[in-house]
Amino acid sequence: MPKQRKKTKKVNSRAGMLAKKKKLSVGQWFEKLVAVQARLRAPNGCPWDREQTHQTLRTYLIEEAYEVLDALESGNDAKFAEEMGDLLLQIVFHSQIASEEKRFTVSDVIREIHDKMIRRHPHVFGATRAKDSAEVLRNWEQIKAEERRSNDQQARPDGDGTRAKVTSLLDGVSPGLPAALQGFQLTRKASRIGFDWENVEGVFEKLNEEAEEVKNALKNNDPRKAEEELGDLLFAAINLARFLKVDPEIALSRANAKFAKRFRAMERLAREGGQEFKELPREEMEALWDGAKRLERKRSEAERNESRAKR
C-alpha cells in the first residue's frame, strides 16, 4: 500500500510539472529556448553546435523554411507547429553566434522587427489612413524607400564629398534569391506603384509574344538568343503567376511533386504488368501516363466523397 501511494504521488508530481510548463508565457518559453542554444554553444556544450557558423547554417535555414511550407500544406497542425519551431531555432542560432561576436543579440533582432512593424503601419499606429490593402502596400514601399535613404545618409561620413546613393523601389530584392522568387518580388514591387497590366489578357498576350520569339530564335539556330528569349518567356509566366496572386515557387513545387508522383505510378504500373518502364516504347509510356492520371483522378474523387460524407 505505501508503494502505491508513492507511485500516485510521483504521477501527480509529473502532472503538476507539465501543467506548470504549459502556464509559461511566450516570453518565458522564448528565454528558455535562447538559454538552451547558448548552453549548446558554450564550452563543454555540443561539439556540432559549437562548430557552426553563419555560412554553414545557410542550407539549414533554407531547408527549414521549405519544411514549414510542406507542413502547412499537409494540414497537420502538430507538424506545422514543430517545423515552425525548427525555423525559429535557426533565428535563435544565428543570433547566438552574432552575440558571441559582440555584433548583435536576439533582443536586437526582436526590437528591429517590432519597431519596423510600427513604422510600416502608420494607418494602425499613427494618424495615416489607408482605404484598402493596395494603398497599404503602396505606403509600405514608400516608407521602405524613405528608410533606405535615411540609412544611406547616416552611413556616409559628413563632408566626405561622396554623392548620395540613388535609391530604387526595387531595392531590397536580394540577388541571391532563387530566380523565380526574385522575378516574383521584382514584378510585385513594380505593380505596387501602378506599373502593371490592366487585365490578365495582356499578360497572356505577352506570353504568346515571348513564345513566338523563342521559336524564331530556334529557327535562326541562335542558342544564345534562344536562352535570352526563354528567360523572357519564364519571366512573363512568373508575372502571370503574380497577377493571379499565385506564388510561382509554390506552384512549380506542386507541379514537380505531381510529376514525380505520376512518374512513380507509371513505373509501378509497368512492374505490375511484368515490364520495366525504361524498356517500354514511347507509345506505351504515354498510355501508362494516361493511366496514372486516371488513377489520380479516381483517388481525388474518392477523397472528396469521403470528405463530404464526414460533414
| Residue-range definition of the domain harbouring residue 54 | 26-120
Q: Are residues 231 and 263 in the same domain?
A: no
In a domain, 175, yes or no: no
Would you say 189 and 169 are in contact if contact means Cβ atoms under 8 Å apart?
Answer: yes
Identify whether residues 88 and 112 lie together within a single domain: yes
Give the pLDDT confidence of 12-53 residue by residue, as tens digits. 555 555 555 568 999 999 999 999 999 999 999 999 999 999
Q: Tell me: do 275 and 236 sit in the same domain.
A: no
The answer as to whether 203 is a domain residue is yes
269/275 Cα distance (integer angstroms): 9
Q: Is residue 113 part of a domain?
A: yes
Is the CB of residue 289 less than 8 Å from the CB of residue 280? no
What are the helix (H) ranges across 106-161?
106-120, 122-125, 133-155
CATH of the domain at 210: 1.10.287.1080
Q: Say if residue 9's pLDDT is above 80.
A: no
Sign for the pseudo-dihedral over CA of 280, 282, 287, 288: positive
Would residue 69 count as lying in a domain?
yes
Percent of the chain with pLDDT over 70: 87
Residue 218: what pLDDT? 96
Do 103 and 66 fall within a single domain? yes
Flag whether 171 is in a domain: no
Q: How many domains does the chain have?
A: 4
Q: Please check whether residue 55 lies inside any domain of the structure.
A: yes
Residues 39 and 108 grouped into a single domain:
yes
Alpha-carbon gap, residue 64 to 266, rounded angstroms = 31
Task: Report pLDDT digits (tens) over 116-126.
Answer: 999 999 999 99
- Closest by CA to 97, choosing from 61, 33, 50, is 50
Q: Would you place residue 90 in the very low, low, confident or very high pLDDT band (cuts 50, 70, 90)?
A: very high
Residue 160 lies in a domain: no
pLDDT at 171 over 70: yes
Identify whether residues 109 and 46 lie together within a single domain: yes
Choose among 46, 57, 126, 55: nearest CA to 86.
57
206 and 270 belong to one structural domain: no
Instruction: Report pLDDT digits (tens) over 210-269.
Output: 999 999 999 999 999 999 999 999 999 999 999 999 999 889 988 998 999 999 999 999
Q: What is the pLDDT of residue 145?
A: 80
Predicted TM-score (pTM) of this structure: 0.61
Look at 82-86, 162-166, 190-194, 224-228 and tell me which has the smallest mean pLDDT. 162-166
pLDDT value at residue 5: 47
Mean pLDDT in residue range 77-99: 97
Q: Is the alpha carbon torsion for 139, 141, 146, 150 positive or negative?
A: positive
Residue 230 domain-assigned (yes or no): yes
